[in-house]
Amino acid sequence: MNSISRPTVGAVVLTMNDRPAEFPAAMASLLSQEGVELDVVVVGNGCAPEHVPDDVRTIALPANVGIPEGRNIGAANVKGDLLFFFDNDAVLPTPDVLARLAAEFARDARRAFVQPRIADPETGITLRRWVPRLRTSRPDRGGTVTVMAEGVVMIRRDAFEAAGEWPGHFFLFHEGIDLAWRLWDRGYVGHYAPDVVVHHPVTDPARHAVFYRLNARNRVWLALRNLPAPLIPLNLATWILVTLWRFRDAAALRASLVGLAEGLRGGHGGRAPMRWSTVARLTFAGRPPTC
């Protein structure tokens, strides 16, 4: 990335044409960004994108390929040294958000991804799942992080491509942990910049059985793809205990067990266990890959 010229950012937005009010607001805030060279593509996941500004390129996929693969396709069709993945119901509240995120990479060459603080525009609340660390009580505390909230994150393109991009076959859930672990295994780190705020309405992804099934399946795939063999049973045992303690709904528990079994049957893709030195680095950074 040329430090003299403005940062070049390729922004990827997915749509299923199901947010006719939120999507135009998201796009308006994205296109109003200043201080960066911006290239934007909107990927229609199983649809032809609607409500798209005339000067923005679109890709219409004939079928819904899932969020991570849709983002991979988008990334391959935008220019920029930095990639910005942006949920279509989020809003960049000021025109300097992308420039401020891009500036974080210049502060540490090891940074592969930078995540802003995501907050509800009405209440200012930052959900636990939006805070990229185990201790979520202080969403205003920044620093080095080992995971990311995939929906609003900026990633160095060269690092993204070297790590193998998003795991497209995950379809939904845990693709951010998978990518973050592979980036860390290549010597990179992640950074959380809570002073840069992005607005996103509070939503609950746990709405139906598919959530619980894919969440469980991908948790197994995450371990099988990335962990040294001795850590796999420890990781899965921790997840199972947490699941049994957390879920009181019988249907949710059944769907989770179905996903667990599905994951154990295979389909996780190529296995590339992280180095033990990476396990140590992740642990010292505050999130061992066993939880």
Do 12 and 129 reside in the same domain of the chain?
A: yes
Domain boundary residue among 171, 199, 227?
199
List, for residues 230-289, the tens digit of each pLDDT value.
999 999 999 888 877 777 778 888 899 999 999 999 999 999 999 999 999 999 999 999
Domain boundary residue among 199, 225, 246?
199
Do 235 and 152 reside in the same domain of the chain?
A: no
Percent of the chain beyond pLDDT 90?
Answer: 86
**How many domains are contained in the chain?**
2
CATH number at residue 33: 3.90.550.10
- The reported pLDDT for the residue numbered 208 is 72
Q: How many CB atoms lie under 10 A from the CB of residue 62? A: 9
Angle between helices 231-246 and 250-264 (to 10 degrees): 170
Do 160 and 50 reside in the same domain of the chain?
A: yes
pLDDT of 2 higher than 50: no
Beta pairing, strands 111-119 & 37-44:
unpaired
- Which of 165, 160, 117, 159 lies closest to 139, judged by CA? 117
Q: Residue 18, SS3?
A: coil
Find out whether 81 and 155 touch, Cβ atoms under 8 Å.
no
Least confident interval from 70-84, 132-146, 159-173, 261-275: 132-146
Domain assignment of residue 263, given as a range: 209-284
Do 259 and 160 reside in the same domain of the chain?
A: no
Do 24 and 135 reside in the same domain of the chain?
A: yes
Do 143 and 14 reside in the same domain of the chain?
A: yes
pLDDT of 3 higher than 60: no
List, for residues 77-90, the tens digit of each pLDDT value.
999 999 999 999 99
Residue 92 binned pLDDT confidence (cut-offs 50, 70, 90): very high
Residue 48 domain-assigned (yes or no): yes
- The reported pLDDT for the residue numbered 251 is 86
The alpha-carbon radius of gyration of the chain (Å, integer) is 18
- The reported pLDDT for the residue numbered 133 is 87
Beta pairing, strands 189-199 & 143-145:
antiparallel
Domain boundary residue among 143, 168, 199?
199
Do 177 and 227 reside in the same domain of the chain?
A: no
Do 98 and 226 reside in the same domain of the chain?
A: no
List, for residues 206-228, the tens digit of each pLDDT value.
567 788 999 999 999 999 999 99
- The reported pLDDT for the residue numbered 206 is 58
Do 174 and 213 reside in the same domain of the chain?
A: no
Do 167 and 24 reside in the same domain of the chain?
A: yes
Residue 217 domain-assigned (yes or no): yes
Residue 2 domain-assigned (yes or no): no
Query: If you average pLDDT over every residue of the chain, what do you get?
Result: 94
Q: What is the mean pLDDT of residues 89-117?
A: 98
Residue 267 domain-assigned (yes or no): yes
Strand order through the sheet with 189-199: 57-60, 37-44, 8-15, 82-86, 152-156, 111-119, 189-199, 143-145
- The reported pLDDT for the residue numbered 4 is 61
Do 114 and 161 reside in the same domain of the chain?
A: yes
Q: Rounded CA gap, 38 and 59, in Å?
A: 17
Residue 143 domain-assigned (yes or no): yes
Q: What is the mean pLDDT of residues 57-85?
A: 98
Find out whether 159 and 183 touch, Cβ atoms under 8 Å.
yes
Q: What is the mean pLDDT of residues 187-191?
A: 98
Q: pTM, whole model, 2 decimals?
A: 0.94
Do 73 and 154 reside in the same domain of the chain?
A: yes
